[in-house]
Amino acid sequence: PALCEVDEIWVPSSFNVETFESAGVPRSKLRVLNEATDTERLFRPPAQSRPPPAHILPPCEEMGDEVFKFLSVFKWEERKGWDALLSAYWLAFERVDDVCLFLRVNMDDKNLKEYEALREKLRRLKCEDQ
């Protein structure tokens, strides 16, 4: 499977390790990160964070194989910490870094408004970058 080409896959439980391994992903690429991560203790962004840069564009699939690709799969809701994920990514990497972030999300109607607001922000960043 395509997931065999990534460096690591982070999953929330040993059950997920077993399912990925049974699908053909080498166990050596699988890491368990428990869901109960204290983000306040592990991640403390500066008081003023910079706005999301346009370096997430062009789409990751247009980048070469030398680019390090992150993949995050989750339900789009506040408790999943998508805002912390994006803030950490934008703080950790600059436009010139050879990295990209794939998000594979699903959501219900009550979260669609905030998701669309983020998509609009990303569209504006793309336009400003051209």
Within a domain: 43: no
**What range does the domain containing 63 cover?**
2-35+50-129
Stretch 89-111: mean pLDDT: 81
Flag whether pLDDT at 125 surpasses 70: no
pLDDT of residue 54: 45
Cβ-count burial of 82 within 10 angstroms (0-12 exposed, 13-18 middle, 19+ buried)?
buried
Task: Say how many domains are in the chain.
Answer: 1
Residue 45 pLDDT greater than 60, yes or no: no
Domain assignment present for 40: no
| Amino acid identity at 124 | R
Least confident of 55-64, 84-93, 106-115, 119-128: 55-64
At 18 the pLDDT is 93
Reduced to 3 DSSP states, what percent helix, strand and coil does the chain have, rounded to the nearest 5?
45, 15, 35
- Say if 42 falls within a structural domain: no
With a pLDDT cut of 70, the percent of the chain lying above it is 72
Q: What is the pLDDT of residue 63?
A: 65
Reduced to 3 states (helix: H, G, I; strand: E, B; else coil), residue 79 is helix
41: in domain: no
Residue 11 backbone dihedrals phi, psi, to 5 degrees: -130, 160
